[in-house]
Structure 1
Amino acid sequence: FFNVIAEPDTSAYNFAVLHEVSEKVYQYSKLGIYRLLAVLIGLPLMLCWGIIFGAYTFFMIWIVAPSRRLSQSLIAECGIHIQTISDAVVAPLYRSFGQVFSSVRINLLNQTVETTKTIQV
């Protein structure tokens, strides 16, 4: 009240009684409007938020968490099969490619090549 509505200059006060009454009117009207809006709007909003968070909790406990556990076990099982297939097929293939190309030898030589330009007429 003092920062918003009251007189900013100490020399410009109203009557003391009027100042006290205006402060009390401000405080009680603020409190009354808050309580009225809390009853009219706050209670229905709390009902909505309760329904939303209740539904969220229900879905997390009964749908999301079991689905996540099921998908994790399926992914782990698929990983075992993929690892087995990789060990049986892909690893020997790459091992044989490695043995085939292990005998390849590359020699790099430094040679200077001199070219002469000839003009043919």
Structure 2
Amino acid sequence: MLEELDLDERDPNDINGHVKVGFEDVLAEPAGAHSIACVWKASHVCFTCGKNCCYNILTTLCGIFIALYWGCEFAMITFSMVWCITPFLRLFSITMGCLQKYFGTCITCCLAPICETCGLAFTRITVSKT
């Protein structure tokens, strides 16, 4: 079942806040360098219409296909995570836990007595300055 779409607020999580571009964000005339008012107004209309028309044409031609591609891409990522990567990581974690216990036991049995003996031998050494 399709969830209800909010056709007014299409970016509720502000994912694309960085591309909210208006006329004022691109073109600005500083004080003392103003064009004729009718040119400024016509520029605003041309910019806004051009941006909106181009965006609508591109989304009409490509939007559905690109959305289908991204839907499939995220489906493949989810499939990989659920069926391949997460079980492998769990297997790896179990295997490494066993190897960690094995290695720790070997170190404790074989290397620890040698280190302890060397430590006791070197505690008898004294250094004096002459």
TM range (shorter): 0.5 to 0.7
User: Which string of whole-angstrom CA distances, capped at 9 and with x for unpartnered residues, describes residues 89-109 of structure 1?
Assistant: 111001111122222233321
Partner of 1:87: 108
Task: Report the more deviating stretch, 35-44 or 63-72.
Answer: 35-44
Partner of 1:99: 120
| 4+ residue segments displaced more than 4 Å | 1-4, 25-33
Distance in 1 separating the partners of 2:81 and 2:102: 30
- Percent of matched pairs sharing the same residue: 23
1:46 Cα deviation after fit: 1.0
Partner of 2:64: 43
Task: Report the more deviating stretch, 93-102 or 29-38.
Answer: 29-38
Distance 1:2 1:73, change over 3 A: closer
Task: Report the more deviating stretch, 96-105 or 47-56.
Answer: 96-105
Partner of 1:117: none
Question: Does 2:90 match 1:69?
Answer: yes
- Root-mean-square deviation (CA, aligned residues, Å) is 3.1
Partner of 2:36: 9
Give the residue type in structure 1 aligned to 2:129: L
Distance in 2 separating the partners of 1:82 and 1:69: 20
TM-score of the superposed pair, with normalisation by structure 2? 0.59
Q: Which runs of 5+ in 1 are unaligned?
A: 110-121
Distance in 2 separating the partners of 1:72 and 1:50: 31
Distance 1:41 1:107, change over 3 A: same
Higher relative contact order (CA 8 A, sep 6+): 2
Task: Report the more deviating stretch, 99-108 or 39-48.
Answer: 99-108
Distance in 2 separating the partners of 1:95 and 1:27: 79
Q: Which runs of 5+ in 2 are unaligned?
A: 1-21, 28-34
User: Which string of whole-angstrom CA distances, capped at 9 and with x for unpartnered residues, describes residues 23-52 of structure 1?
Assistant: 5x9877765543332121111111111111
